[in-house]
Structure 1
Amino acid sequence: MNRQDSGRLLSLDALRGFDMFWIMSGEHIIHALAKATKWPLFLWMSEQLHHTVWNGFTFYDMIFPLFLFIAGISMPYSLQKKVQAAGVTAAFELPAEDKRKLYLSMLRRTLILIILGCIVNGLLAFKGYHHTRFASVLGRIGLAWFFAGMIYLNNNVRRQIYYLLILLLGYWMMMELIPVPGYGAGVLTMDGSLESYIDRLLLPGKLHDGVHDPEGILSTIPAVGTALMGILTGTFLRLEKYSMPKKALLLFSAGIVFILSGLIWDPCFPINKRLWTSSFVLYTAGWSLLFLSIFYWLIDIAGFRRWAFVFIIIGTNSILIYMCAEGMVNFGYTAEYIFGGMIRQLPLLWQPVFTAISVTMIQLMLLYLLYRNKIFLKI
């Protein structure tokens, strides 16, 4: 059966898993291979698996916005049954009572993600208010997804596009025109930007970088734009007037357009993940569309699915493996217990490579058992 008919895109699970693979352990394999082999390809890949210090872009900067973009795509699919049951054609036409229930459900999910994000940051270590970081990756996903969802549930596609423009252009104007005490307006440095100033002024607890937090308050505004672009993409994929191959082609073409748009905006509003600039939103949305079009064509259109199974089992439990990989589970201890003796028989230079691979194997074994038994972390 085609996954589009069942209301779920297999390619979306695979792409989410591909995205999460690099965070959970893939990056460590590449770093170890680069160190062991010194091969140009692995050295380049290793460089790409580090965040840029400030302005600029690497593949590692792509992981977070791609995940948020995918979360947006999922919304039109997750609400499909409710829309059909209500006898309407779009989510914004749902009856008020149905919307109120959705608001509460979405708010609950957002609050859970904020709390889980704080736990990942060490909330339960009880180090004290000033040593606890309250901003988080999961918190931003929850907030951006929630506000983008509110826009989606109350506006047609045209008005959603208007909101997207307001979010991106409004953020740009605020960052450029509102002066920061001691710095002035339009200073886009870590300590002098409006986003950083508001973090220092309003964000509770500890900031990630002392004077700035990459998941801060103001930069959540354009992050809503990232989620909303995902929602618009999911809405497009639900259209029946285009064939699946044509959808793939249009997604790919749109990806090129958005990448170029981000690059055009870059000189006056630099592509910057830590500020989540509007140019960054467009640029990463473009790459997200390219990745999606390729996965969509290979898996949902051409039917090449076996190669993606590893990514699918990661993608269907992505929040769980993210939390575990961020320090809540010591996979390294288990890998050492099972494979440590064999790894120590290898040449010293190659031991870190196989140690990283062994951690990945343990993670995949856990994910496979969960997948096989249909155990998924649902929030």
Structure 2
Amino acid sequence: MSNIETEIKTKKTKRLLSIDALRGFDMFWILGAEGLFSALFIITGLSFFNLAANEMLHSAWHGFTFYDLIFPLFILLSGVSLGLAAKPIAGLSKQQKNEKYRHAIKRLVLLIVLGVLYNHGWGTGIPADFGEIRYVSVLGRIGLAWFVAAMLVWHFKTKTQLYITAAIFVGYWIILSFVSIGDFGGSNLGPELSINAWVDQTMLPGIRYQNLAVDPEGLLSNLGSILNCLVGVFIGRLMSKQKQVANVLLRNLLIIGVVSLSAGWLLNSFLPVNKTLWTPTFVLVTCGWSTLFLALFYWLIDMQNWQTWAKPFAIIGMNSIIIYLGTSLMNWQYLVNSFFGGILSPLSEGWQALWTIVFLLLLQWLLLAWMYRHKIFIKV
């Protein structure tokens, strides 16, 4: 058995391998793997690969593709980890509480800063114009969702957390459907005149993504992503309570997933599923799919003990933040050309595209495997 396999097996006693593997599987698709289906379609001409490639694109506006699931799944899993570990802090000393608060604030600020770094900060370089920064980001949203969920877990009972979650769900629905300011809002959910667009254009500092009317990681839609994290907290707490009765836990995860997914699509006619606005129906659909994927990984890995195939994904999942930053800050294509250009250049277009992606993924995974072997984990 390799050192990597031994270390993962040892860590399994402390954390569920299925969660790390699912997190890694989620990250796998934004490291470059989303292009595999397009390359395979060029090679084979099979319509299946064309359909799969279309699922690797974000929805134009209303609707849902599996690529839309990547971000909310990651947020839900951060909530699951919180639900498995976090407890109320009322019984802690003042010093222990302050340490908790410092960690939470540091994590939030660091993720916001790293998000700006991922966005390449100032596109115009230094001297800096603070009006040219895109302050909102994927990492910033992850940090904010986790921070709010942590504060609720630390300070409120489970029943109160449920009430707050329901209030956010209903409140955000009401805001999207009924609140209007001038031409914005009042059930207008288009890309130009939603209430989210008014909030981003009026209150969001810096620039918006591609100067769109509403930023995909804008201010108001944080309410939706906070819901994904809170649902993850409840699922994590359920997993903690029912870990000794795996069959019951699996059944409950499947029920939660199916009910949430069904409810999301049933309510779609009243409030469309929309990723950019992160509508409450989008929350239901993504929480449904996320829970079903978690149930599948839990059954395969932790119940059936089929772990070999999951270990490469777990290695990604253990350093997910650092490799995500690497997709923006490192020129992986240059490294692929440097190492494998002589192999790739004689190939046809389709095969060249396919092997470029394979080599790109391999280089990233080898870096993560090296970090894992040396017990280097970049946690925020």
- TM-score range for the pair, normalised by the shorter chain length: over 0.9
How far does the alpha carbon of each residue in 1:128-177 deviate from its partner, in whole angstroms, 9 at most, with x for none? 33432111000000001100111111112211111110111000111112
Superposition CA RMSD, Å: 1.8
Alignment check: 8 A CA contact 2:40 2:350 kept? no
1:233 is displaced (CA, Å) by 0.6
What letter matches 1:212 in structure 2? V
Evaluate the alpha carbon distance shift between residue 2 and residue 156 of structure 1 in structure 2; reply closer, same or farther with a 3 A threshold: farther
Matching residue of 1:102: 100
| Aligned mates of 2:151, 2:52 — CA distance in 1 | 38
Q: Deviations over 1:252-310 (max 9, x none)?
A: 11100000111122111111000000011111001110000010111111100000111
The Cα of 1:78 is off from its aligned counterpart by: 3.8
Return the TM-score normalized by structure 1. Answer: 0.93
**In structure 2, C-alpha distance between the alignment counterparts of 1:7 and 1:238, rounded to whole Å:** 12
Aligned equivalents of 2:10 and 2:229: distance in 1?
22
The CA deviation at 1:100 is 3.3
After superposition, the Cα gap between the structure-2 partners of 1:129 and 1:93, relative to the gap in structure 1 and judged at 3 Å, is closer
Displacement after TM superposition at 1:94 (Å)? 3.5
Q: 1:56 aligns with which of 49, 54, 63?
A: 63
1:234 to 233, 236, 253: 236
CA contact (8 A) 1:114 1:136 kept: yes
Alpha-carbon distance in 2 for matches of 1:279, 1:19:
21
Q: Which residue of 2 aligns with 1:165?
A: 166
Structure 2 counterpart of 1:111: 109
Name the structure 1 match of 2:360.
359
> In the alignment, is the contact (CA less than 8 A) between 2:84 and 2:233 conserved in 1?
no
**Partner in structure 2 of residue 221 of structure 1:** 223
Equivalent residues in 2 for 1:77-92, closer than 5 Å: 77-79=84-86, 90-91=87-88
Partner of 1:84: none
1:3–1:300 contact (8 Å) kept in structure 2 = no
1:255 and 1:289 in contact (8 A); partners too: yes
Shift in alpha-carbon separation, 1:345–1:145, aligned structure 2, 3 A: same
Instruction: Map Cα deviations across residues 313-369 of structure 1 (whole Å, 9 max, x no partner).
Output: 1100100111111x2011111111111101123234321111111111111111111
Q: Is the 8 A contact 1:2 1:300 kept in 2?
A: no
- Residue identity matched to 2:20: D
Deviation at 1:3, TM superposition (A): 7.9
Which of the numbers 20, 27, 37 marks the counterpart of 2:27? Answer: 20
How far apart, in 1, do the equivalents of 2:155 and 2:32 lie?
40
Could you tell me which amino acid in structure 2 is paired with residue 12 of structure 1? I
Residues 80, 236 of structure 2: 8 Å contact kept: yes
**What is the total number of aligned residue pairs between the two structures?**
368
Structure 1 pair 368–178 and aligned structure 2 pair: CA distance change class (3 A): same
Contact 1:7 1:77 in 2 (8 A): no
The letter for the 2-side match of 1:147 is: V
> What aligned pairs does 1:237-256 form with structure 2 within 5 A after superposition?
237-240=239-242, 243-256=245-258
Cα distance in structure 1, aligned partners of 2:305 and 2:234: 25
CA contact (8 A) 1:3 1:9 kept: no
* Amino-acid identity (%): 36
Q: Distance in 2 between matches of 1:3 and 1:256?
A: 33
Superposed, 1:312-331 pairs within 5 Å as: 312-325=314-327, 327-331=328-332
Structure 2 counterparts to residues 142-157 of structure 1, below 5 A: 142-157=143-158
Q: Which residue of 2 aligns with 1:10?
A: 17
State the alpha-carbon separation in 2 of the partners of residues 2 and 17 from structure 1: 16
Distance 1:348 1:312 in 2: 32
Q: Secondary structure at the match of 1:103?
A: helix
CA offset digits 1:13-59 (Å, max 9, x no partner) = 00000000000111122222223322122111100000001100000
- Structure 1 residues 298 and 173: alpha-carbon distance in aligned structure 2, compared to 1, 3 A threshold: same
Kindly indicate whether the alpha-carbon contact (under 8 Å) linking 2:257 and 2:292 is maintained by their aligned counterparts in 1: yes
Describe the superposition over 1:188-215 as per-residue Cα deviations: whole angstroms up to 9, x where unpaired: 1111111111000010111114211011
In structure 2, stretches of 5+ residues that fail to align are 1-7
Which residue in the other structure is 1:85 paired with?
A: none
The 3-state SS of whatever aligns with 1:217 is coil
Q: Which has the higher mean CA deviation after the structures are superposed, 130-139 or 17-26? A: 130-139
Amino acid in structure 2 at the alignment position of 1:320: I
Contact (CA 8 Å) 2:73, 2:287: kept in 1 or not?
yes
Query: In 2 relative to 1, CA 205–63 (structure 1 residues): closer, same or farther, beyond 3 Å?
Result: same
| Counterpart for residue 274 of structure 2 | 272
Deviation at 1:126, TM superposition (A): 4.7
- Match status 1:43 vs 2:41: no
Cα distance in 1 for residues equivalent to 2:106 and 2:240: 26
Report 1:329-348 matches (<5 A): 329-348=330-349
Whether contact under 8 Å (1:32, 1:352) holds in the other structure is yes
1:266 aligned counterpart, secondary structure: helix
**Gap change, CA 1:345 and 1:280, over 3 Å in 2:** same
| Aligned CA distance change for structure 1 residues 94 and 54 (closer, same or farther; 3 Å) | farther
Match of 2:213 in 1: 211
1:6 CA displacement:
3.2
TM-score computed with the length of structure 2 as normaliser: 0.92
Give the Å deviation of 1:112: 0.2
The 2-side partners of 1:56 and 1:119 are apart by: 30
Alignment of 1:130-209 (within 5 A): 130-183=131-184, 185-208=186-209, 209=211
1:305 maps to which of 304, 307, 318 = 307
- Distance in 2 (alpha carbons) for counterparts of 1:47 and 1:111: 35
